[in-house]
Amino acid sequence: MNGFKNELENNILAFWIDKMQDTEHGGFYGQIDGNNALHSEANKGAILNARILWTFSSAYRILKKKEYLDMAQRAFDYITAYFLDREYGGVYWELDYKGNPVSTKKQTYVQGFMLYGFSEFYRATGNKQALELAKEFFYLIEKCHDDKLGGYLEAYTQDWKPIEDMRLSDKDANEKKTMNTHLHVLEPYTNLWRVWDNEQLKAAQKRLIGIFTERILDKKTNHLNLFFDEEWNVKSTAISYGHDIEASWLLFEAADVLGDRDLLAEIKNISLDIADAASEGLQAEGSMIYEKDGNHIDGDRHWWVQAESVVGYMYAYKNSKDIAYKEKAARIWNYIRNQIVDQENGEWYWSRKEDGTINQKDDKAGFWKCPYHNGRMCMEMIEHFDLK
């Protein structure tokens, strides 16, 4: 397995540097569609901007190239100038192309991604404002914690009141607690712990890991349940193979940074069980399909699912020494290079459809299509597995 550094620098990061900087209104454009057309007046999403901040901060931390620092700084400056809600705290969900808020709801999920970006920018640069913002967002997210029943509530109005529509996107169930939000609170808490030794953070991280093992994980199947009501009753039968494999390594990482040997040993075994369950989604050519709900199978090969599968199986290999996991990762990486990377226009396609054709309906870059999953895959391979 090789080519990760080349893919990261000459395809993924180069695409965002060359094609996504909004030189007129600041920050980054909101969309390049699946036909590679730029929409310069598309709205700008907080998820996209937080993930750009994380990606280029991490790239600068690992590779020390000034152009990556410049991009990270650009993202940080735009977020702090336009996305921060200076009256009520947190960040807005969506802005127009000029930087005016168009959706002011507060999704716990995106507050987590901003924390992720701020903490990584601090790791990369030592910027004190970034660390203070990361701490501020930690305390903000902790206010979303359900002290009675556990876990984090999904969404609020701008001023942090209850909200009727809690969904991240149209395809999600409108429930008060979700696996996805908990996963992307766990992930930034892991990163914040690397730079901030704080007992409340440590307790919150341990509690979150417990939520996964006791509430979210289906102990019969080792898949993750996706949607829950306030009392943790399961409200979905769907299996998300991408989230399974992503969670398998993020859970291990979360336990690993805490330095608790007993907890780490427990989570290492659970992580391998989840990776094995995710393998039900692997296909003959090496790819991973999206999800299954009852008899309905969504056979699209999404870009982010393939990227997370490479990382997840490499962690499974590291933790088990079973070469079969590494072989799975290698086959998926081969599939990515041959089927998901856009060799002509740069970056990755959103997905290949089940019939093998390219999905051009969904974005090349946009509200949800960011350099984070594929960029992080490359950086994980470079930094933790010494695969250039």
pLDDT in tens, 194-215: 999 999 999 999 999 999 999 9
How far apart (Å, rounded) are the C-alpha atoms in residues 154 and 66? 37
Query: 305-321, pLDDT tens digit by residue?
Result: 999 999 999 999 999 99
Angle between helices 179-193 and 108-125 (to 10 degrees): 20
3-state DSSP assignment of residue 237: coil
pLDDT at residue 51, as a whole number? 98
Beta-carbon count within 10 A of 295 CB: 5
Using the predicted structure, report yes or no on whether residue 171 has a pLDDT greater than 90.
no
Give the single-character DSSP code of 103: E
Q: Specify whether the CB–CB gap between 155 and 177 falls below 8 A.
A: no
Query: Exposure pattern of 98-130 as b/e (b: 16+ CB <10 Å)?
Result: eeeeeebbbbbbbbbbbbbbbbbbbbbbebeeb
Place of tokens 């901060």: 57
List the beta bridge partners of residue 94.
45, 103
Using the predicted structure, report yes or no on whether residue 90 has a pLDDT greater than 90.
yes
pLDDT at residue 388, as a whole number? 86
pLDDT at residue 358, as a whole number? 98
For residues 351-358, give the mean pLDDT.
97
How far apart (Å, rounded) are the C-alpha atoms in residues 138 and 188? 9
How far apart (Å, rounded) are the C-alpha atoms in residues 326 and 29? 37
Q: How confident is the model at residue 121 (pLDDT cuts 50, 70, 90)?
A: very high
Distance of CA 255 to the CA centre of its chain: 18
List the beta bridge partners of residue 298.
291
How far apart (Å, rounded) are the C-alpha atoms in residues 209 and 315? 18
Token pair, residue 159, equals 């001023």
Query: 213-235, pLDDT tens digit by residue?
Result: 999 999 999 999 999 999 999 99
| Alpha-carbon dihedral 30, 35, 38, 41, rounded to 10 degrees | -60
Using the predicted structure, report yes or no on whether residue 174 has a pLDDT greater than 90.
no
pTM to 2 decimal places: 0.98
3-state DSSP assignment of residue 40: coil
How far apart (Å, rounded) are the C-alpha atoms in residues 388 and 385? 9
For residues 287-305, give the mean pLDDT.
97
Taking every pair of Cα atoms in the chain, the longest distance, rounded to a whole number of angstroms, is: 54
pLDDT at residue 169, as a whole number? 85
Q: How confident is the model at residue 260 (pLDDT cuts 50, 70, 90)?
A: very high
Q: How confident is the model at residue 172 (pLDDT cuts 50, 70, 90)?
A: confident
How far apart (Å, rounded) are the C-alpha atoms in residues 224 and 250? 13
Token pair, residue 188, equals 């930034």
How far apart (Å, rounded) are the C-alpha atoms in residues 380 and 388? 10
Residue type, 296: H
Token pair, residue 216, equals 């979210």
For residues 168-193, give the mean pLDDT.
93
What Å distances lie between residue 303 and 237, 288, 306, 374, 378, CA to CA? 23, 10, 5, 8, 13
Q: What are phi and psi of 340, to 5 degrees?
A: -110, -35
Using the predicted structure, report yes or no on whether residue 170 has a pLDDT greater than 90.
no
Percent of the chain with pLDDT over 90: 96
pLDDT at residue 168, as a whole number? 81
pLDDT at residue 253, as a whole number? 98
Determine the length of the chain. 388
Between 3.20.20.20, 1.50.10.10, 3.30.390.10, 1.10.3720.10, what CATH number should domain 4-385 receive? 1.50.10.10
Using the predicted structure, report yes or no on whether residue 86 has a pLDDT greater than 90.
yes
Mean pLDDT over each residue of the chain, to the nearest integer: 97
Q: How confident is the model at residue 154 (pLDDT cuts 50, 70, 90)?
A: very high
How far apart (Å, rounded) are the C-alpha atoms in residues 45 and 29? 10
Q: How confident is the model at residue 278 (pLDDT cuts 50, 70, 90)?
A: very high
Q: Which residue, 233, 250, 98, 86, is CA-closest to 180?
A: 250
Q: How confident is the model at residue 259 (pLDDT cuts 50, 70, 90)?
A: very high
